[in-house]
Chain A
Amino acid sequence: MTIEELEQIAKSAQQDRDKYDYEVNVCMDLACASQGAGALKDALVKAAEGCGKKVCVRRTGCMGPCSHGPLVRVDPDETLYRKVAAKNAEAIINSLGTEPVPELKSELGEHFDRQVRVVLENAGYIDPEKIEDYIARDGYKALLTVLTEMTPNGVVHRVTESGLRGRGGGGYPTGLKWGTVAKASGDVKYVVCNGDEGDPGAFMDRSVMEGDPHRVIEGMAIAAYAVGASKGFIYVRAEYPVAVSRLTTALRDARRHGLLGNSICNTSFNFDVEIRLGAGAFVCGEETALIASIEGRRGTPRPRPPYPASSGLFGKPTLINNVETYANIAPIIRNGGKWFFNMGSERSKGTKVFALTGKIANTGLVEVPMGIKLREIIEVIGGGVPDGHIFKAVQTGGPSGGCIPAEMLDVGVSYDALLKMGSIMGSGGMIVMDDTSCMVNVARFFIEFCMTESCGKCIPCRAGTAQMYTLLTRICTGVGTMDDLELLEELCSTVKEASLCGLGQTAPNPVLSTLKYFRHEYTEHILDKHCRAGVCNMGAVISEIPSEVVA
């Protein structure tokens, strides 16, 4: 495949599109599909056949505002319809060329206006199983440009220049990581994509893998060229069967077009990718545990150093990045590092995809520039808390993150600002809670999660989380004492300081942040035996409550 051939494919794909006057895009992502998008698409295809207009019906990846699904967008005038049922298909097709169907038209202008789409630029515009669609939107152009015009060093330099930081949660500068792996000595190197989105309440990576799989593959191939690797692995959760099948199709198509394999674009660069399945272990999102899992072992982390950059998969230098990080690479190469650097806040560049869920009107995926105020995300883009309830907190970073109260909402979103508030950026889950959520119970929920997901290798995490869970259960059931609270705080710092990997080190965050901002709820539970949200059952029989847990 050469650049000319690529342009040829893009051109013919464009010609195919030009044959039609209208494009009807149906979102077929999990949320819309579970509301009947499949039947809707069939109905649209049927209606389009008999209408006499030139209409192309296409299935696409996630368009974003899932709570309004199933979604249909009609191009070229970009009319977005919400909550469309199969019975509305004919009305939509008949309206083409005239006024849009008023009762289905969505009023989400503001929701989209505040967003900046880089990672999700193709979401809702391409059929994820058609490589031509991706190529027509400048896909694989970056890879071929890199191979023919840039040196590996030049690529690392451009990524460094962009200021991109790891999107998996840690926020390590991507360019620096690439540089380290590129400099590492070794004849064999690996590139790994971390698609083990274990963080409950987050689904950005799933949507990217399902909606735009080629973007991830292209990012990985560019990374492989930059660091000198010829083999890549994508580690995907087994809970995401659709993502696995889309990626499999995408890999097959890329190989068929000579975009993976040997001598790509007639250069000496060889690269291929294999998919590895996870099996439901949150800890496998940690890089050393992920490596163990790819090697077919139990996913337990090991102490670092040596870092994977020098000794990773099968003992070779390994580059591990998150799905969203790789998804940012192709646009950075195409538009230049400066372009990316100019977006976002001072130390966090570019955009970030968040999965906005919980007690909020517009749930779904949003992509916003870094530095945007939390309030703007929740009140404008998210549409605020529905049903007249009062906003209480927003949880970011999953089980490793923290809860941010209403008074902190005017802080701009960045890695450092969130860290300062006692939370983390995490992979991008953003869960909104209202006055019906009890913060002590929320903390208990996360500690229970960390307790069951702890791999058991190091004691502080294995035993510490279990003891914290017991203490929180005591508080939630009304038998807790102020001594329990003191012990809980002590345990938090022990687990935080002494654990081996990120899971344990961040496990106390939900407790610490709720203690920091919602301490009054803890004391209410202990002293007044009262849960203001009415979640905790204070009258539980005391004999049922364990006084301690043997870990």
Chain B
Amino acid sequence: MRKNGFARYALIETLHTVQSSFGYLDDDAIRFVAQSLRVPLSQAYGVATFYHYFTLKPPGKHTVTVCAGTACYIKGADKLIGAAEKKLCIKQGQTTPDGQVSLMVARCVGACSRAPVALCDGEVVGEMTQGQILEQLERWTTE
């Protein structure tokens, strides 16, 4: 916040910083940011919920993000998501009850030439197969 001179227009930047430090935005953090930047709480909450990048729930220990951009869709990303959902018994956007793995879906990570793509804890894995994703999840869940 100080870097941007507590400017009101830096709300999104500030929320980015909070999320990258804590992994998600909780109520207290949003309240604190709103108060410090002197923006209405409704605006801060509105921004936090409007943008897909922000999450209000704590992520799991590991995160697998399957890209669901057009190129990945054409190359079968939905099958990857389906396989992962079945394996973890959760839906996309959720975290397993033990907090071990989160399954996310991204809109496009820009690695379309290597579709289908998944991010395993932030690392880009191209040309992912169902076997690969299940193997990765197996490793994480049995840790």
How far, in whole Å, are A297 and B110 apart by their CA atoms in the complex?
25
Least distance between A287 CB and chain B CB atoms (Å): 17
Q: Give B36-76 interface residues, CB cut-off 8 Å to A.
A: 39, 43, 46-47, 50-54, 68-75
Tell whether B111 is near chain A: CB-to-CB under 8 Å. yes
A431 near B74 with CB under 8 A, answer: yes
CB-CB nearest in chain A for B125: A34
- Expressed in whole angstroms, the minimum distance between the Cβ of B119 and any Cβ of chain A is 10
Most buried by A among B106, B110, B124: B110
A contact residues around B8 at 8 Å (CB): 296
> Looking at the complex, which one of B50, B106, B113 makes contact with A357 (CB distance below 8 Å)?
B113
Return the contact of A201 from the options B71, B114, B125 (Cβ within 8 A): B71
Note all chain B residues with C-beta closer than 8 A to A262.
none
Tell me whether B108 and A279 are in contact (CB under 8 A).
no
B50 to A238, Cβ gap below 8 A? no
Is A66 touching B113 in the complex (CB atoms < 8 A)?
yes
The stretch that binds A, out of B10-18, B83-91, B94-102, B129-137, is: B10-18
**Contact pick for A296, options B47, B52, B113, CB 8 Å:** B47
Q: Is the beta-carbon distance between B114 and A67 smaller than 8 angstroms?
A: yes
Q: Are the C-beta atoms of B111 and A280 separated by less than 8 Å?
A: no
Query: Are B115 and A357 touching (Cβ within 8 A)?
Result: yes
Which residues does chain B contribute within 8 Å of A363, judged by CB atoms? 71, 112-115
Taking CB as reference atom, which chain B residue is nearest A399? Answer: B70
Q: Per a CB cutoff under 8 Å, which of A34, A198, A356 touches B111? A: A34
Q: How far is the CA of A429 from the CA of B72 in the complex (A)?
A: 13
**Max chain B CB contacts within 10 Å: which of A199, A279, A280, A297?**
A279
A77 to B105, CA, bound (A): 43
Chain B interface size, as a band, is 35 or more
Which residues of chain A come closer than 8 Å to B110, judged between CB atoms? 30, 197, 203, 206, 239-240
Residues of A within 8 A of B107 (CB): 198, 200, 239, 280, 282, 449, 453
Q: Decide if A298 touches B47 in the complex (CB within 8 Å).
A: yes
Contacts of A471 in B (CB 8 A): none
- A351 close to B (CB within 8 Å): no
Residues of A205-247 whose CB lies within 8 A of B:
206, 238-240
Residues of A near B43 (CB, < 8 A) are 297-298
Which residues of chain B come closer than 8 Å to A314, judged between CB atoms? 9
Pick the residue among A200, A276, A395 that contacts B108 (CB under 8 A).
A200
The answer to whether A357 touches B126 (Cβ under 8 A) is no
The answer to whether B13 and A277 touch across the interface, beta carbons within 8 angstroms, is: yes
Contact A297 B47 (CB under 8 A): yes
Given contacts A35-B114, A206-B110, 16 further A-B contacts (CB under 8 A): A31-B111, A31-B114, A67-B114, A200-B70, A201-B108, A202-B112, A203-B108, A238-B16, A239-B107, A239-B109, A240-B110, A296-B8, A314-B9, A363-B112, A429-B70, A429-B112
* In the complex, the 9 A-B pairs of residues with the closest C-beta atoms, listed nearest first: A200-B69, A279-B51, A66-B113, A201-B70, A280-B53, A296-B11, A200-B108, A280-B52, A357-B71
Which residues in B have some Cβ–Cβ distance to A below 8 Å? 8-13, 15-16, 39, 43, 46-47, 50-54, 68-75, 106-115, 117, 123-126
A-B contact pairs, 16 of them (CB 8 A): A30-B109, A30-B124, A34-B123, A67-B114, A201-B71, A201-B112, A238-B16, A239-B107, A278-B51, A297-B43, A297-B47, A355-B112, A356-B113, A357-B115, A431-B70, A445-B73
Residues of A within 8 A of B (CB): 30-31, 33-35, 66-67, 197-203, 206, 238-240, 276-282, 293-299, 314, 355-359, 363-365, 395, 398-399, 429, 431, 433, 437, 442, 445-446, 449, 453, 455
